[in-house]
Amino acid sequence: MARLLYTLLIYLCLPLILLRLLWRGRRAPAYRRRWGERFGFVARLDASRQVIWLHSVSVGETIAAAPLARRLQTQYPEATVLVTTMTPTGSAQVGKLFGASVEHCYAPYDMPDAIARFLNRVQPAILVIMETELWPNLIHACHRRSIPVVLANARLSAKSAAGYAKVAQLARPMLAQLAVVGAQTKADGERFLQLGVVREALTVTGNIKFDLQLDESLRQQAAALKTQWQGANGRPVWLVASTHRGEDEVILDAFSRVLAHHPDTLLVLVPRHPERFDEVAGHCSEAGYTFRRRSERQGNGARAITAETQIVLGDTMGELLSFCGASDITFVGGSLVAVGGHNLIEPAAWGVPVLSGPHLFNFTEVARLLSEAGGLALCATARELAEQVVNLLADAECYRQMSSAALAVTEANRGALDRLTALLASQISQPPGRGASRH
């Protein structure tokens, strides 16, 4: 009954859902395209090949899923790996990471007819969902068709668990239908059990984001970028990644304080969402800073980044990981406001000191590990943030210790990918080996 009421509500809200797509499309035109996919009208896949469906919501989850997708491609070379997302930025990230080596489309909305249409056309052998993208009708439909659903790299904050508990009649049957849950931490696992996950389905695998691989090509990109940004005098580079509305003003205030001590510092400011690029550019201009957009690449008449450039506005997609490697210090946004934080592991994997605001409920365990090791410092105000940056730039030994600690945490917590792959192997039957490669 609870799922029926939920389904009715979804259909009643459909006009609002479409209006929201149109509204978002005003600033991000990609939201106005490929609507058919969101209703299950996707291209049919080769029926002779096993389909492994991997779902990641947007950019962050797609980057986290990349090592898993590549492992699946290697382990099941005769299978088709389908990666679905919900956002255009996630779609773009799939193309950037995999090119044509995987299939991609948007995942269907959680409406029975859209899901049935999608499953009939795709016929997946398994569905692997990254982190916490749980949809009752989707999971129910897969369960009825004997398609195992695996929740990979699963996390569930206390806040989210409380939300699910309020709709227990809907959430408990859904969670009980999951074939496997690979939880990031023991605490995540316990919360899943309390909400209805079958104990035999649960394994604590760790966080696969620690298995991030920084290949030589990426390292070269980051080194070239750092050389460009530092200039002839080796100016310090402070990256502020994935900011949300309400954070940029704090960052710009902190930056003014940093400049009072280190006037040649370059701030690289990267808003989380593309539709905010112009808004943040306006903040930089209003504050009187000299800034350049990253999209204004050198050459073709674009203005070069000079010693007078104070801010680089990161208004491109898919470059944040290389930005981390090109920075001296990284602040991770979504943490000065109650968003819950973003990926702290990416800068840590480069051996870069990590700063964050206090709101980290989506990354509680990662934050704990980094804080206890000394690789992460929390800052609640512009003054605290500026003090941390100034201190790190002035104290070489403090910088070295924090950098080493951040890197050591990432190295010590690898291995989740192997454990998760082993779990998936118990759910994926070997592909039949028919059909030629699609790509």
Residue written as token pair 């940056």: 389
pLDDT band at 192 (very low <50, low <70, confident <90, very high): very high
Q: What is the mean pLDDT of residues 148-176?
A: 95
Residue 18 lies in a domain: no
Catalytic-labelled residue, pool 61, 131, 247, 346: 61
Residue 221 and residue 205 share a domain: no
Percentage of the residues of the chain whose pLDDT score is greater than 70: 96
Residue 65 lies in a domain: yes
Residue 304 and residue 230 share a domain: yes
Residue 194 and residue 91 share a domain: yes
Whether the CB-CB separation of 152 and 178 falls below 8 Å is answered with no
Burial of 181 (0-12, 13-18, 19+ CB in 10 A): buried
Q: What is the mean pLDDT of residues 125-153?
A: 95
Residue 375 and residue 282 share a domain: yes
Residue 172 lies in a domain: yes
> Distance (Å, rounded) from C-alpha 137 to C-alpha 177?
11
Whether the CB-CB separation of 83 and 98 falls below 8 Å is answered with yes
Q: What is the mean pLDDT of residues 119-133?
A: 94
Which CATH number characterizes residue 85's domain? 3.40.50.11720
Residue 221 and residue 169 share a domain: no
Which CATH number characterizes residue 377's domain? 3.40.50.2000
**What is the layout of strands, in order, in the sheet containing 329-332?**
291-293, 311-313, 266-271, 237-243, 329-332, 354-356, 376-378
Residue 61 is a catalytic residue? yes
- pLDDT given at position 228: 94
Residue 351 and residue 227 share a domain: yes
Domain count, the chain: 2
**pLDDT per residue as tens digits for the range 250-285:** 999 999 999 999 999 999 999 998 889 999 999 999
pLDDT band at 297 (very low <50, low <70, confident <90, very high): low
Residue 163 and residue 263 share a domain: no
> Distance (Å, rounded) from C-alpha 348 to C-alpha 211?
12
- pLDDT given at position 299: 47
- pLDDT given at position 308: 93
Q: Which domain holds residue 208?
A: 37-212+416-425
pLDDT band at 146 (very low <50, low <70, confident <90, very high): very high
First-to-last C-alpha distance (Å) of the chain:
45
> Distance (Å, rounded) from C-alpha 212 to C-alpha 208?
7
> Distance (Å, rounded) from C-alpha 321 to C-alpha 342?
13
**pLDDT per residue as tens digits for the range 324-359:** 999 999 999 999 999 999 999 999 999 999 999 999
**pLDDT per residue as tens digits for the range 203-252:** 999 999 999 889 999 999 999 999 999 998 999 999 999 999 999 999 99
Residue 288 and residue 163 share a domain: no
Q: Considering only 55-59, 174-178, 253-257, which range has the smallest mean pLDDT?
A: 55-59
Is residue 27's pLDDT more than 80?
Answer: no
Q: What is the mean pLDDT of residues 157-180?
A: 95
Residue 386 lies in a domain: yes
More confident residue, 433 or 235: 235
**pLDDT per residue as tens digits for the range 364-387:** 999 999 999 999 999 999 999 999
Greatest extent of the chain over all pairs of C-alpha atoms, in Å: 67
Whether the CB-CB separation of 421 and 75 falls below 8 Å is answered with yes
- pLDDT given at position 318: 83
pLDDT band at 119 (very low <50, low <70, confident <90, very high): very high
- pLDDT given at position 49: 93
Mean pLDDT rounded to a whole number for the chain: 93
**What is the layout of strands, in order, in the sheet containing 126-130?**
103-106, 80-85, 51-55, 126-130, 149-154, 180-183, 202-204
Residue 222 and residue 207 share a domain: no
In the structure, how many helices (H) and strands (E) does the chain have?
19, 14
Residue 343 lies in a domain: yes
**pLDDT per residue as tens digits for the range 79-102:** 999 999 999 988 988 998 899 999
Residue 275 lies in a domain: yes
Q: Across-strand partners of 336?
A: none
Residue 435 lies in a domain: no
Residue 407 and residue 295 share a domain: yes
Residue 338 and residue 236 share a domain: yes
Nearest to 280 by CA among 307, 255, 308, 305: 255
Q: Considering only 272-276, 398-402, 408-412, which range has the smallest mean pLDDT?
A: 272-276
Whether the CB-CB separation of 409 and 370 falls below 8 Å is answered with yes
Residue 394 and residue 262 share a domain: yes
- pLDDT given at position 303: 60
Residue 394: other Cβ atoms inside 10 A: 11
Q: Is 433 left (phi over 0), alpha (psi -120 to 50) or beta?
A: left
Is residue 422's pLDDT more than 70?
Answer: yes
Reduced to 3 states (helix: H, G, I; strand: E, B; else coil), residue 255 is helix
Percentage of the residues of the chain whose pLDDT score is greater than 90: 82
Residue 231 lies in a domain: yes
